[in-house]
Structure 1
């Protein structure tokens, strides 16, 4: 058997030598050393599940020959006694830009907007789509960055250039201090993407929804190019994508909601993204788990905020405070949800804290094996490198760490990091003298001596408390001391350590006389039991969203009877007093005298008013990272539904104002805007669950000053259109092209799927409906005439402050008007606005509503509606319908909401007074029969929030006083948008 092992050993080494031929000329004598090592007497962690004690590791030419219990030294091997130390596979970093130069802007900044790519060559029209970028062509070893990564345990890294949406390929390399030719393991190991605009002066995209639309269209273009497009045109970017699409796809995001957005793109195009998160994924772990996407997770825990000053404390939101407490538990939560993950040092301000933070995650519940898998075997598998990375097995690269104790123990040190068989000494192990105590005898004087943690200083204390101090130095088997006496003389001691740890030797006093000394090692109290690791727990409960007024779970859908209320039915039954309403299974089951089921919750509505939930036809709340993709004349491909922000506090605030449904619109920066999203204000639900199920799709169009960029400054005088006449031409052109596109589809001619044309074709086919931002009567007339020429109808004119001038024409066309109650004079094109506008349109027979277009106004749409009683003489019922039934009709959802009648959704509001009164406030707001807002509970929540803030503030002050670093308290502004943002 031993003969077989020896033969195999020689064969392996011969093979390695043959495959490691030098391709560079050598200036001088060739160095053909085989880096042949025999490391013995160690605890070898082959992988997180296999550990071999008292084992030996044989490596040669950068690879592992064997892990064995053999103790005989192979001929020619350099022997290293590990003395019981631990050996682990080096970590693998999946998210870094190591060795890759950062992208920079090219050339001087242009004086005007740039719409086309400035890149030379037959590449993508958009400079943020760069699949042709090959990181290996620019990669170079960066020893400073490599050393920093080696010190915290990494031996191999995947590196790329962080620039753009489609960023090109990444390089897999070791961190050995050598030429890239020797360290690169795979020059094209991965494909990288991100929600990130490239370093470019090109204007589009300007929003995250624009980035998503651009990426979706890129995938479609690539498919077409594979099939037929390459016969019609040359596109080097799409051609380059062929080489990347089957590689591991890495996608960088900035928060937990972006994880879900990236996952939806992957699912749409049958991909799997390995998503680099930011550390807040625990806040939506259940939804992330459902995507099936693996994650790369940083351990970038925030520092406590400096909140000693009460005014500083007011700057920090409850969400920020809670995240400070919860962040270390993120990895444990992901593990509980069976989400596959790797761990990265990316996003850490101080990479030296990496292992400390991983250990902290273990204290908060992460299993040690899971942590080690996430640093070794998991990233190796994702890269397809599981046959040579991530474990210590025969044939694997000799990338390993040597530690003085188990690596996740507090205080454990990485002593060496071997990469491709080359050792890098990170730090020396602690001396055996460290923290030792001795009974010290100098001639006839006795002392108790203590050597400090670093084993370089000694303190001697006599029975009469006389204290002497000195230095310690170790060299080979000798130990020397230099001790200062009270007289100022120095004693020079030279000693040798015996096997039992005692030190004996001689010293010279200040007179030069030589005397003897000895130091007898004191026995430490031994304990066979290892001290248990402190486990940490968070106190703040998990809520959805993870902010003030969040809830641990969505409200239950209960059977509810609201009794003896004044019910505004919005039907021909009018306003009914002393009436009951039964809500069951999320629907209104009965209006009238109700015999309540036994399981019903009874709510006394005496002296209270019950109305349908308010519907805001025009809103911009709950949107992330831009409301306008206004860089081009048409952004029909973008979708507000791609960037819903379920965590926006305005959802809760507007619930408190009785709003239950909102249409979230693209802004008014271009003639053809983006696709809108209709949501119910289900506070606590994830983004996709906010969407109003089965609702007809809408799109935002715009006319007027914003579209022609009247007030955008001299920089923005290039994009067509620049006049109101040009707006009409844009619409004519796009609808003509959509007709041609539809004709090609109908005739079965091969075509490239175009998301913009698909959307416009839906309008022409009556499958998608226009809500148009408008002010001036001439443009209102223009769009109605244009729509009639293309045989469709405009659904709604929103704002429409000159609607009273053209109400008869609107009625004839069949278009609705959603307006403001009394806004005017905020720009020139509203100079003719009057507060009677809504009443005049209503009286002419136009379906009329009032909207907010403003996060604050939406909380009081009921009183906005009341103004039409003063300005125009509408009845109370007609006024309330302006914000309930009428917008429901505009949005084609009046079969579900807008009135209180049997079969409608249980979206109702219970007011404490007449709903059009300025003193009325919503007491209870139901959506789908679930109680989403309760004013009585809200008061208790405010008390709980105050208590929770105080507890967290006290915890952060204690952390600061304990010596931990803190960060400055700064307010994070809320993300709010208007039409022209």
Structure 2
């Protein structure tokens, strides 16, 4: 490693010898070129908003020295006439891996918990701010040429490895220069992502929520380190502090990650530039609220191959809509004043860049905005606004010479100049033959139409109404046109050869089929008519479907609004001392239950006839894993630093399905991979809302603990992490609680203490500021955890699963714990062999607060039926059984003052059932949260019809696209993983 660092400067010095003007020359007479290059008579795009018609500019030593409609031309100038040509600033790709030698993947099996591979650096290998792209860079002339053909003159490249990835470098694509010429900045920006380093086998983090927690802790540690509090040197934290002033570019993989990255940035006062997905229009308001500039890839999805009707049934509406909407994404961003930059990243075929860019313009993207996203916007982000992306005095001479408007399909990029060095792409002196001609040959008049690019024209020839087969070749100013005989019965050819000296007339000789030669003339009669722009749009674009909330099946056209309701003549399950009330009205105003009684006055409320129907409070699932992008952070035996609020997935279809089952609130729990899991998120299922709007506001704080087989890793055979036994599990708790008390003492006595997010969370538990919900099965472990808690003077709030709770109900009552259990699950693993369906009833009769939970996305939408099982198993009354899924889980979550019963002043989280709520035949007809209807059976039927309509329209569009030559991809049936406590993410 040391040898590498020593050799690199030497190698770079050797490579750049010729570029250093102060180096001595031993090659003979030393001369200096003092000439200027002056470009005249061009249409110059100075920047996206400034154009000089028939302008000129001068270049010397790689920079522009003069520019304008009229400039003083030095005597020692080389002039280049650009009449009829246009000049643009070369483009900048702010997100690239150009020229980077990718890191090698770490070898060896298994994933050790903490074994960092580097001494003197941060404890976690995936934090690598000291990485410098310069050390892994090797100029790739072939790739540079591809980028130049697309119009790029500069790339900002980096090493794509790790969560904090270190600094990138700004490189000019100067194929004739040296590294000294090309490197504009060796520390242009700092790059980040949620992805682990391939160079390390270190297991933590195993999830995106772990990556977010690690980022937070790293920022805290860097600040603490900067204040001189560390006793040891940390080269990674020093590098991170050194990079603070650089542009911070964050790579994300989907829309939700954009908001997650911004959330971390906001917490530490960092405004990231965020690499997006191309689907930002789906969450426009959330994207806008980030205030981030977005790097948007021009990688539109392919149409699905829907020719097979059977396979087409499996096509996701979300995927189909994304294909339909993606081309309009940039136009939507621009019209909403959301700043964005464009990149070639993720495009396998460089030719697709301009194709997709022009497609975005067809769908409404303004050309000025497109040019800005490629020039001035990235230059400003990188602090290079006076040097790159513009053509002005003092800027680098990075520019394109084109045949016309760059954003025209037929336009040719002739040359790409980088720092005053020319890269020839096409011959710009070639005569453009495009036009309509009358060809005089052997006394006949042919209609000749030439189209296509100047260097690759195409011919169409007719004699009267008869089409003549032809083939046109055009090289080095010589045209060769091969004509077949107009008489299809004859196999005869005429070869026309001409040297092109004029656009208006083509003259040359024709070699006839018998070998004789005669003269021919083709006079230009008119230019090629451009297609009407409106007609062109109609021909090449399709109807763009509106965004729904969420933008998938069962998404709302617009978000539902809070309303006032009067439910008339319902059977009301109050869950209060009033019990079940027959033929009763319930008035809802401003999201609250306003009144309960007979013959209530509706006022301005919408009246719902609930005769013969039942009105209840919404079902609450104390133990759920729906609406989560990740469930387990399994890299450590304690994950107290992670939060489920970070990984809410508002697009999970199980949210809608749960609403259809009358569920209004869930506790999104961490999984059971470790004894101390992550912090919970209590959610209201506000389908279509932003992730942050799901969080139950001002709700108590919870955390997930776990006991049993999972935490000692019996189910996946790992031997890399402590604990491996139930005895070890107890020691984990004792150790962490002891450390937390020591941490608390450190906070009291040392004002420069190191803030530890994990210890802060565990300290909240000890200080009764955060409640514990613990995964549990066997009585011995239940007893153990209660004793450990009592030893540290706190109480376990809820034992969940608790399938042997009937054995220790008296001890749980004495301890003060509640129980959230399955109704009748058993035999799915060894430690539940003693489970019985009477468990809930026995614990309830012992005086515990008992809830029935799901831990399963399918069961959660049938919790009303799960509650009914306790009527059969244990003879629980219907009213008390209903409380098992409403009031009791609200009590366990300490939100029963707001939800869980129907009483004046409580939040209007209610469900209108078609019949008795415990019946398997009853359906939830309306599900309200805070007075807003998030599920309605009538609306559901309308949404189903809309899904059919949209899929039919999109299928037609995709078939048309395929018939038009578009590439497609096969439909694949997506099997959504059912998530429960045991689910481990592959991260």
Fold equivalence (TM over 0.5)? yes
Change (3 A) 1:879 1:449: closer
Structure 1 526/219 Cα, relative in aligned 2: closer, same or farther at 3 Å? closer
Question: Which residue in 1 is equivalent to 2:567?
Answer: 562
Deviates more, 1:869-878 or 1:56-65: 56-65
Q: Is the 8 A contact 2:229 2:752 kept in 1?
A: no
> How far does residue 330 in structure 1 lie from its aligned partner after superposition?
1.0
Map of 1:758 onto structure 2: 760
Runs of at least 5 residues in structure 1 that lack an aligned partner in the other structure: 1-17
For the residues of structure 2 that align with 1:370 and 1:76, how far apart are their CA atoms?
38
Matches within 5 A, 1:233-632: 233-428=232-427, 432=431, 434-442=433-441, 444-451=443-450, 453=452, 462=463, 467=468, 469=470, 471=472, 473=474, 475=476, 495=498, 501-505=504-508, 515-524=518-527, 534=537, 536=541, 538-624=543-629, 626-632=630-636
| Alignment partners' CA distance in 2, 1:633 and 1:470 | 73
Residues 472 and 409 of structure 1: is their aligned pair in 2 closer, same or farther, counting only changes over 3 Å?
Answer: closer
* Corresponding position of 2:12: none
1:105 is matched with: 105
Map of 2:170 onto structure 1? 172
The Cα shift of 1:660 comes to: 0.2
Instruction: Label 1:736 to 1:33 Cα distance change in 2 as closer, same or farther (>3 A).
Output: same
* Mapped partners of 1:959, 1:255: distance in 2: 26
Q: CA deviation at 1:119?
A: 1.9
SS of the residue corresponding to residue 421 of structure 2 reads coil
Find out whether 1:662 has 2:666 as its counterpart. yes
Q: Give the equivalent residue in structure 2 for 1:51.
A: 51
User: Residues 443, 749 of structure 1: CA spacing in aligned structure 2 closer, same or farther, 3 A cutoff?
Assistant: closer
* In 1, Cα distance between equivalents of 2:282 and 2:513: 69
CA distance in 2, matches of 1:731, 1:171: 46
Match of residue 160 from structure 1: 158
Distance 2:259 2:467 in 1: 68
Q: Given that residues 255 and 281 in structure 1 are in contact (C-alpha distance below 8 angstroms), is that contact kept between their aligned partners in structure 2? A: no
Counterpart Cα distance in 2 of 1:22 and 1:594: 96
Which 10-residue stretch deviates more, 509-518 or 771-780? 509-518
Instruction: Give the distance between the partners of 1:652 and 1:789, measured in 2 at CA.
Output: 43
C-alpha contact 1:326 1:538 (8 A) present in aligned 2: no
Distance 2:850 2:154 in 1: 64
What's the counterpart of residue 5 of structure 2?
none
How far residue 463 of structure 1 moved from its aligned partner, in angstroms, is 5.8
Aligned pair count reads 958
Structure 1 pair 473/842, CA: closer, same or farther in 2 (3 Å)? closer
Candidates 652, 670, 680, aligned match of 1:676: 680
> Does the aligned pair in 2 maintain the 1:433–1:455 contact within 8 Å?
no
- Following superposition, the deviation at residue 372 of structure 1 comes to 1.0
Cα deviation, 1:242-263, whole Å, max 9, x if unaligned, reads: 2211100000101111111111
Give yes or no for contact 2:97–2:157 (8 Å, CA) kept in 1. yes
State the distance in 2 between where 1:466 and 1:888 align. 81
SS at match of 2:740: helix
- Answer yes or no: is the 8 Å Cα contact 1:431–1:455 preserved in 2: no
SS of the equivalent of 1:250 reads strand
Quote the offset at 1:288 in angstroms: 1.4
TM-score computed with the length of structure 1 as normaliser: 0.94
Q: Is the CA contact 1:73–1:79 (under 8 Å) kept in the aligned structure 2?
A: no
State TM-score, norm by structure 2.
0.93
Shift of 1:41: 1.2
Q: Distance in 2 between matches of 1:673 and 1:337?
A: 41
Assess, with a 3 A threshold, how the Cα gap between structure 1 residues 52 and 664 changes in structure 2: closer, same or farther: same
* Aligned match for 1:963, one of 965, 970, 980: 965
- Superposed CA deviations along residues 909-967 of structure 1, whole A, max 9, x for unmatched, are 11111111111111111100011110122122112211111111111111111111111
Deviation readout 1:34-93 (Å, 9 max, x if unpaired): 674221111000001110011112112211111133377533333222122111101110
What is the match of residue 64 of structure 1?
64
Q: Secondary structure at the match of 1:651?
A: helix
Provide Cα deviations, 1:524-581, integer angstroms capped at 9, x if missing partner. Answer: 4879998886275644221111111111332111110001010000000000000000
CA spacing shift, 1:68–1:570, aligned 2, 3 Å: same
Distance 1:489 1:433, change over 3 A: farther
Counterpart for residue 217 of structure 2: 217
Partner of 1:137: 135
Q: Equivalent residue for 2:195? A: 196
3-state SS, counterpart of residue 554 of structure 1 = coil
Aligned-partner Cα distance in 2 for 1:768–1:160: 42
Partner of 2:788: 786
Residues 53-62 or 684-693, more deviating: 53-62
User: 2 CA distance for matches of 1:96 and 1:504?
Assistant: 49
Q: Structure 1 residues 423 and 31 mapped into 2: Cα distance closer, same or farther (>3 Å)?
A: farther
- SS of the counterpart of 1:534? helix
Contact 1:433 1:451 in 2 (8 A): no
- Shifted more, 523-532 versus 900-909: the winner is 523-532
The residue aligned with 1:150 is 148
Question: Contact 1:638/1:674 (CA < 8 Å) preserved in 2?
Answer: yes
Q: Contact 1:130–1:168 (CA<8 Å) still a contact in 2?
A: yes
CA distance 1:431–1:208, change in 2 (3 Å) = same
Distance 1:502 1:619 in 2: 78
Deviations 1:393-416 (A, max 9, x none): 011111111111111123222222
**Matched position secondary structure for 2:424:** coil
- Residue 954 to residue 472, structure 1, CA distance change in 2 (3 Å): closer
Check the 8 A contact 2:912/2:927 in 1, yes or no.
yes
Q: Deviations over 1:208-248 (max 9, x none)?
A: 00000000000000011011333x12211111112211100
Following TM superposition, by how much is the alpha carbon of 1:270 offset from its aligned partner in structure 2, in angstroms? 0.4
Distance 1:786 1:546, change over 3 A: same
Is the partner of 1:188 in helix, strand or coil?
A: coil
1:878 has 2:877 as partner? no
Quick one: distance in 1 between partners of 2:101 and 2:349? 21
Deviation at 1:152, TM superposition (A): 0.7
Question: Are the counterparts in 1 of residues 19 and 180 from structure 2 also a CA contact under 8 Å?
Answer: no
Q: Compared with structure 1, are the counterparts of its residues 862 and 451 closer, same or farther at alpha carbon in structure 2 (3 Å cutoff)?
A: closer
- Of the three residues 691, 696, 699, the one matched with 2:695 is 691
Q: Give the superposition deviation at 1:630.
A: 1.3
The CA deviation at 1:150 is 1.0
Q: Is the 8 A contact 2:568 2:585 kept in 1?
A: yes
Equivalent-residue separation in structure 1 for 2:980 and 2:715 (angstroms): 15
How many angstroms does 1:349 deviate by? 3.1
CA RMSD of aligned residues (A): 2.5
CA distance in structure 1 between the aligned counterparts of 2:621 and 2:931, rounded to whole angstroms: 20
SS of residue in 2 equivalent to 1:242: helix
3-state SS in 2 of match to 1:407: coil
Call closer, same or farther: CA 1:599–1:699 in 2, change over 3 Å: same
Q: 1:936/1:516 Cα in 2 relative to 1: closer, same or farther (>3 Å)?
A: closer
Q: How far is 1:442 from its partner?
A: 3.9
* Structure 2 unmatched runs, 5+: 1-17
Find the counterpart in structure 2 of residue 228 from structure 1.
228
For the residue of structure 2 that corresponds to 1:770, the secondary structure is: strand
How big is the shift at 1:156? 0.6
SS of the counterpart of 1:737? Answer: helix
* Secondary structure of the structure 2 residue equivalent to 1:581: strand
